[in-house]
Amino acid sequence: MIHYISSKRLGVTQVEQIMHEVTELQLSDASREAILKCRQFIEKQFQEPGGPAVYGINTGFGSLCNTHINDKDLSQLQHNLIMSHACGAGEVVPREVVKLMLFLKIQSLCYGHSGVSLELVERLMLFFNKEVFPVIYQQGSLGASGDLAPLAHLALPLLGEGEVNYQGKRISGKELHKELEIKPLQLHAKEGLALINGTQFMLAYGVHLLLESRKLWSWAHYTAALSIDGFDCNMSPFDKRLHLIRPHKGQLDSADLISQLLEGSEIGRNEKINVQDPYSFRCVPQVHGATADTLDFVEKTVMTEINSVTDNPNVFPDSQTIISGGNFHGQPLALALDYLAIAMAEIGNISERRIFQLMGGIRGLPPFLIQNAGLNSGMMILQYTAASIVSQNKQLAHPASVDSIVSSNGQEDHVSMGANAATKAYRVIDNLKTVLGIELLAAAQALEFREEKTSDLLELIIQQLREEVAPYENDRILYTDIEKARRFIEMTQIEIGVN
């Protein structure tokens, strides 16, 4: 499938489609014209010696902004910028995030306000089309002046430097150029700055995490519904009338999902002895629903950023103007990513509480969900593992966006720390997959002790799970079960609509 880069508004689901189904990017005629028009303006402005000082084009960077650069050195200035700013550290950024970074950088440059050459955009598109993914590191960005260090690593292979993952191998930029039979680019005025100014590192994480969070939010209802029947809970907390008098959208959707999942359950229809259930079961719509409303806010922020120009300075060829500002500042994304991490950590938090309740030896369930408890420890330590993980998520949910450290000799005196918010949120989501996997194991095991059946839909989920993980009859090694359950959640496609 070919996708034509244009100025048409993109949505998150469309970006997901581009990531998974598109094999080739091409420029629309309008985008090609916008790039050429902007570049022509830049070249015209600086073709004569002694032109006006414009940040990042004929000046130094950061606190060196008042240092004038000779016209003969403008290309070297951009080359030096990429080389000096490639200061990443820590773990390597996952492939799916790098692919998103590459696409989002291309998209942003094609609006015609960045002043780059057509050749540069086409080279980035070649990387995307050939699945050339630069090696980028998680640490180094302050989330203002753009994601400087990560984006410098994205740009290094354009110069024949750095490293890339290509055809299953990690090779140098020089080796890549030999394999593709291409020459390193010579950057022109403004191009290096356009490449590394921008929010594409934290934005790529934001898009990926939003998509993952939507899936896990749905999965959390599956595991919760299984736990509700496993714990023999009342169905009254999910009555639509209750939620219509407190009509938060997410709450209404969550209650509706639980009701759909448990429709036809024999366990749910049974008369209950228990008058009320613990909050972790009874308040699923209120807690999961609040997370859904948070994800809506995050999506709005991410969608705006996808369709934005975030480098600096920005070029307006129609008005013959170059404006230096602060569109690179990641505060909108930093706050959204912190909010996402908090909201998704709470999905894990309430899930762990349901796991704990299932282990308690009440409601007709044996202690730790095992017969002959004592000789067998059963699933006791599954809850410990979940508790450890949700505790770590609480630590990771501390907002990064409340921090700022002065940099560049005080010129860059307030930064967003959005990159840290992004990488922390990534760990929260990764942890949540494990917690939900543990709840899936515990809830399915609890249902082994029920004479009645749950709903047909949930019975099908259990049946599919049992192809991977057998019921727990006597003590056995459990870490492999956790990994299988986690993979089951990652790989199994679930679909359910909201009425």
Task: Check which CATH number belongs to the domain holding 211 and give it.
Answer: 1.20.200.10
Active site (catalytic) residues: 55
User: Which amino acid does the sequence have at 290?
Assistant: A
In terms of residue numbers, what domain contains 45? Answer: 2-198
Q: Name residue, tokens 């960077």.
A: 61
Other beta carbons within 10 angstroms of residue 477's beta carbon come to: 6
Q: Decide: 142 and 412 in contact? Cβ < 8 Å.
A: yes
Q: How many residues does the chain have?
A: 499
Of 198, 221, 238, the residue at which a domain comes to its end is: 198
Residue 359: inside a domain: yes
pLDDT at 254: 98
CATH code at 57? 1.10.275.10
- The CA distance from 110 to 35, in Å, is 6
pLDDT of residue 73: 84
Q: What span, in angstroms and rounded, lies between the C-alpha atoms of 127 and 146? A: 22
| In the chain, % of residues over pLDDT 90 | 88
pLDDT for residue 499 is more than 60: no
Q: Are 244 and 370 in contact (CB under 8 A)?
A: no
Domain count, the chain: 2
Per-residue model confidence as pLDDT tens digits over 196-239: 999 999 999 999 999 999 999 999 999 999 999 999 999 999 99
| Residue 214 and residue 172 in one domain | no
Whether the per-residue pLDDT at 192 is higher than 70: the answer is yes
Looking at the structure, do residues 372 and 434 belong to the same domain, yes or no? yes
Look at residues 382, 361, 373, 384 and name the one whose alpha carbon lies nearest to residue 473: 373
Contacts 24+ apart (CB under 8 A), 310-313: 310/108, 310/146, 310/197, 310/198, 310/199, 310/200, 311/108, 311/109, 311/114, 311/146, 311/193, 311/194, 311/197, 311/198, 312/55, 312/56, 312/145, 312/146, 312/193, 312/197, 313/54, 313/55, 313/56, 313/57
Mean pLDDT score, 287-303: 98
For residues 180 and 320, membership in a common domain is answered with: no
Assess if residue 141 is contained within a domain.
yes
Among residues 165, 198, 231, the one where a domain terminates is: 198
- Closest Cα to residue 285, out of 259, 262, 252? 252
Same domain, 105 and 13: yes
Q: Identify whether residues 319 and 405 lie together within a single domain.
A: yes
Q: Which of 144, 173, 198 is where one domain is finished?
A: 198
φ and ψ at residue 92, rounded to 5 degrees: -75, 140
- Per DSSP, 257 falls in state H
As a whole number of Å, the end-to-end CA separation of the chain is 33
- Please state, rounded to an integer, the average pLDDT across all residues of the chain: 95
Do 158 and 259 lie in one domain? The reply is no
Residues 6+ apart with CB under 8 A from 436: 216, 219, 220, 223, 347, 348, 351, 486, 489
pLDDT tens figures, 427-486 = 999 999 999 999 999 999 999 999 999 999 999 999 999 999 999 999 999 999 999 999
What's the pTM value of the predicted model, to 2 decimals? Answer: 0.95
| 62, 142: one domain | yes
Tell me: pLDDT of 154 over 60: yes
274 plus 185 within the same structural domain: no
Residues 284 and 431 in one domain: yes
- Evaluate if residue 345 carries a pLDDT over 80: yes
In a domain, 108, yes or no: yes
- Whether residues 182 and 292 share a domain: the answer is no
Helix (H) or strand (E) holding 125: helix 118-129
Are residue 235 and residue 100 in the same domain, yes or no?
no
pLDDT tens across 315-327, in order? 999 999 999 999 9
191 with 297, same domain? no
In a domain, 97, yes or no: yes
